[in-house]
Amino acid sequence: MSARDVELETAREFARHAVLNALAAAVQAVGDLDRVRIVQMLVFVAGTPDFGEQSNVANPASELLIEVLGENGRHARTAIGVAGLPLNTPVEIQVICTAV
């Protein structure tokens, strides 16, 4: 399956799943969910040159961080469209966080 073959709603679910994985890694690093504060999130979305919904794909991930962490989940965000990602994944997320 190519990343370009994924429907918008499916890509949004992939973004939620990717940010959950990033959040789990952050918790493992600092030891407790209450100590995690998200500073920035960078979302890469694979798609065709005419696809312009990168922010729409990233929104569920941002919303989830705020839902789970409250004010500590508010973050700066960049969503970028790319031609492809490793292993043909449709979404990749990088999160920069700090311990509080």
How would you classify the pairing of strands 36-46 and 76-82? parallel
**Which pLDDT score, from 0 to 100, does residue 2 have?**
44
Tell me the C-alpha distance between 62 and 68, whole Å: 10
Give 62-99 pLDDT, tens digit per residue: 999 999 999 999 999 999 999 999 999 999 999 999 99
Beta bridge pairs of residue 73? none
Q: If you average pLDDT over residues 7-20, what whole number do you get?
A: 96
User: pLDDT tens-digit profile of 29-55?
Assistant: 999 999 999 999 999 999 999 999 999
pLDDT for the residue 1: 38
Q: Is the model's pLDDT at 5 over the cut of 90?
A: no
Query: Within 13 A of 91's CA, how many CA atoms are on the CB side?
Result: 32
In the chain, the domains with their CATH numbers are 3-99 (3.30.1330.40)
Nearest residue to 26 via CA among 67, 72, 71: 72
Give 98 or 3, the one with higher predicted confidence: 98
CB of 61 within 8 A of CB of 18? yes
